[in-house]
Structures are given as C-alpha cells and as structure tokens.
Amino acid sequence: MTSSQSTRSQRGRHFLQIPGPSNVPDRVLRAIDRPTIDHRGPEFEALTERLLAGLARVFRTRSPVVVYPASGTGAWEAALVNTLSPGDQVLMFETGQFASLWRNVAGALGLAVGFVPGNWRRGVDPAEVEARLRQDRPHAIRAVAIVHNETSTGVVSDVAAVRQAIDRAGHPALLLVDTVSSLGCMDYRHDEWGVDVTVAGSQKGLMLPPGLSFNALSERAIQAQERATLPRSYWSWREMLSANKDRRFPYTPATNLLFGLEAALQMLEQEGLERVFARHRRHAAAARAAVRAWGLELWCQDPAAHSSSLTAVPLPDGHSEVRLRELILERFDLSLGSGLGKVKDKVFRIGHLGDFNDLMLLGTLAGIEMGLTLAGVPHQRGGVDAAMSQLLSPE
C-alpha cells in the first residue's frame, strides 16, 4: 500500500458486486435474526407449507421442490444421483466453468459423460443437442444436463429451445437444468419448458446467504428415481418427499435460513416476478452500455445470450483482471467477480443481481471506471454516462 492510500479510510457499505453471493437485503437479515424454533413443532410445519408453495411459484411448477441445507454443488449431485444409475450416459455442454464442474461431479459419480466442447462465449446449441440425440438410436443417453446462466461467462442457454430439440429428436432423455444464477433474476419456467430437474441455490437471485439449495422435480424425474441405482442417502428425494408431505424434513433443516427464505419469497412476490426480471434486464443493458463506451469487449459473443445477472468483460492482452480487482477493492471497497478456470486473470465479472438498484449499478460502474484508470487499462471515459443514458431510456 502506498503512503497516500494508507491515510485514506472507508466508511459505508461494502459493494459486493460479484455474481453471487449477492447482497442480502436488511429485511431478509432481520428475518434470519430470530431465535431458532423446534423444527418438529407446529409453527415450523406451517412455515414449511408456505415455503414449499412459494418456491413452486418461483420455479413455476406444480411439482414438488426439494430444499437441501447445502450449497448448489449438493443440488447438482442430488439431481444426478436421484435420476441415474452407474455408467449411464449423460450429455453435457462446455459452456463455462460451472458446466465443467458439474461434468466433474457426474464423472466422479461414475456416469459416462459426453462433454461437447465449447469456447465459453456461446450457449448450448439446440441443433447440436438434436443431432447428438438423433445419433443415439438405442437411447443410451439418459439425461441432458445444461447450465441456464453460466456464471463464469455471463452467457445464457435457451432452455425451451433445448427441450424442443430433445422432443424433435423423439428422445426420452431427461432434461436437467442448473439455474443457480438465473432463478429469481431471469425468466424461468420449469413446467412450461419441460424441465425434469431444476437445480438452484439460495445465494443469488433469492437474495439469501449461501447454504440452501433446491431441486424442482417433474413427474418423469420422480418416476426415474424408482429405477435409478446410484447410491444416495442424504440427497434422496424419497425420504425428503415423504417427510415434506407431513410438512417436515428427514433431517434438521437450516431453520434460520428458511426464515430468511420466507422473507425473500415475499419480496419477490411483492415486486412481481416479471418486474424482477425487467429490473435485471435493464441493469444488464446499462452495464453493457458502460462496457461498450469504455471501448472494452463483452465476453458473450451472442447478442441473444447476454445474461441479466452478470456481465463478463475480457481485458486487453497483457492486462491482469486480478490486479484490476485488487486495486478496485483496496481503493473503493468494491468486490467484483474473478476470472474462473480457463479465463483466470483474463476476464472480470460485474454482478448486477438480487437486491440491486440504479445507483448501486452506477456506483459499481464508477468504481470500475476509476479502477481502469488506476490499473492503466486502455479505455475511454464515459461508461458511467452511457449507463445513465441507458437507464433513462424507455425499455
């Protein structure tokens, strides 16, 4: 630290603009901050009933939603072990770091993963899904597993189009979808899009701390668990669904996070999901306007696939995103998302999801614009102005 920096002090809230965990609203924090109650008592049973109904509305499903006291990775594993058997073939797509990590989970569980390579800058190609499934005449592929919003790249895959591709191929594979960074941020319809298992987590669009994750099921997924023989115990839907019918859990739930979940669901419902999605779209468009005005590139190469939750920005060759983010954290108390996996030290990510508003976005962009100058990254000024103009324009 230089002597001029060491005399500079910071007050006010930290800016947590990584693409999740997202900022936890005070209302949710206050809901969590209560004495823990008996998870086998009547008050908790009533809460369980309200939560399961509220979650179904957010996933847009009439089928059950399972809640785990776990991070998103647990819900990835749950989706696989409840529906598949050792050696089963799964079709996955290399859209980024999280698709790659989910592939690793599937491999570790003894599944035979067909991993379609990708350059991380585009979403899943539905035509590729259709072609691969048509080639699979014996229907050996049991599931297609995709990430809706790639948090490492800010690239979205079209879930409805992938379902249509599976149907066009006349293939019975289950469709498993990761919505860890899209649920509560972007339009998502579990039933209408014919998804069999939706995987989600608490710490992004649901505005909670990390620690809860979810599987939304379909009737076909529930039937698949009868045949699936991968070993499972903690993740088993059977025990969970049977306990949930009695408004209980098979083991101790994360009681206080569930208090927070109720507050978060109420906030989403009061705002209205469509307005929540429109808010995210608007902030994402303004963030992209800033990036373009800086003369920097957008990592996502498909204009139809830009994420509403985050924007990923590659730096010009020879410039380190790690150093940029370190400078911005030190000087402005603003945390941005790092480059993950293959794009480590190349791409930084701006999270604009969850409990977020116009001035938080402008503050974030101002921090980045000043950071670009401090880090000596070639750019033009005016990103914040461009974002303001975008925010003032009718959608």
Ligand X SMILES: Cc1ncc(COP(=O)(O)O)c(C=O)c1O
Residues of this chain that bind ligand X (CB under 6 A)? 20, 71-73, 98, 147, 151, 178, 180-181, 201, 210
261 vs 386, beta carbon nearer ligand X: 261
* Residue environment code for 274-291, b if the CB has 16+ CB neighbours within 10 A, otherwise e: eebbebbbbbbbbbbbbb
Closer residue to ligand X (CB): 184 or 201: 201
**Min separation Cβ 199 and ligand X, Å:** 7
Q: What is the DSSP letter of 190?
A: T
Helix (H) or strand (E) holding 46: helix 42-59
Strand residues in the chain grouped as ranges (E) = 15-17, 65-68, 89-93, 112-116, 141-147, 149-150, 155-156, 174-178, 197-201, 213-217, 310-314, 334-336, 347-351
Cβ proximity to ligand X: between 18 and 375 the closer is 18
- List the strands of the sheet with 65-68, edge to edge: 65-68, 213-217, 197-201, 174-178, 141-147, 89-93, 112-116
Q: Which is nearer to ligand X, 20 or 260 (CB)?
A: 20
Please report how close the Cβ of residue 247 comes to ligand X at its closest, in angstroms.
Answer: 26
Count of residues in the chain: 395
CB of 134 to ligand X, least distance (A): 28
Q: How far is the CB of 358 from ligand X (least distance, A)?
A: 25
Residue whose CB is less far from ligand X, 151 or 308? 151
Residue placing its CB nearer to ligand X in the complex, 353 or 384: 353
Cβ of residue 156: shortest distance to ligand X, in angstroms? 11
Q: How far apart are CA 353 and CA 22, in angstroms?
A: 7
Dihedral angle at the C-alpha atoms of 339, 345, 350, 351, nearest 10 degrees?
30
3-state DSSP assignment of residue 116: strand
Tokens at residue 189, please? 């319809």
Q: How far is the CB of 376 from ligand X (least distance, A)?
A: 30
Residue showing the smallest CB distance to ligand X in the complex: 72
Least spacing, CB of residue 389 vs ligand X, in Å? 30
Residue 297 C-beta: closest distance to ligand X, Å: 22
What is the three-class DSSP state of 341?
helix
Partners of 201 in the beta sheet?
A: 213
Query: In terms of CB distance, is 82 or 202 closer to ligand X?
Result: 202
Q: What is the DSSP letter of 212?
A: -
Residues 6 or more apart in contact with residue 242 via CB below 8 angstroms = 250
User: Is residue 90 a contact partner of residue 112, using CB atoms and an 8 Å limit?
Assistant: yes
Which residues are paired to 349 by β-bridges? 312, 337
Rounded to the nearest whole angstrom, what is the least distance from the CB of residue 8 to ligand X in the complex?
32
Sign, CA dihedral 333-29-63-221, equals: positive
Between residues 20 and 354, which has the closer beta carbon with respect to ligand X?
20
Query: Based on the number of CB atoms within 10 Å of its own CB, is 6 exposed (0-12), middle (13-18) or buried (19 or more)?
Result: exposed
We find the least distance from the C-beta atom of residue 181 to ligand X, in angstroms, to be 4
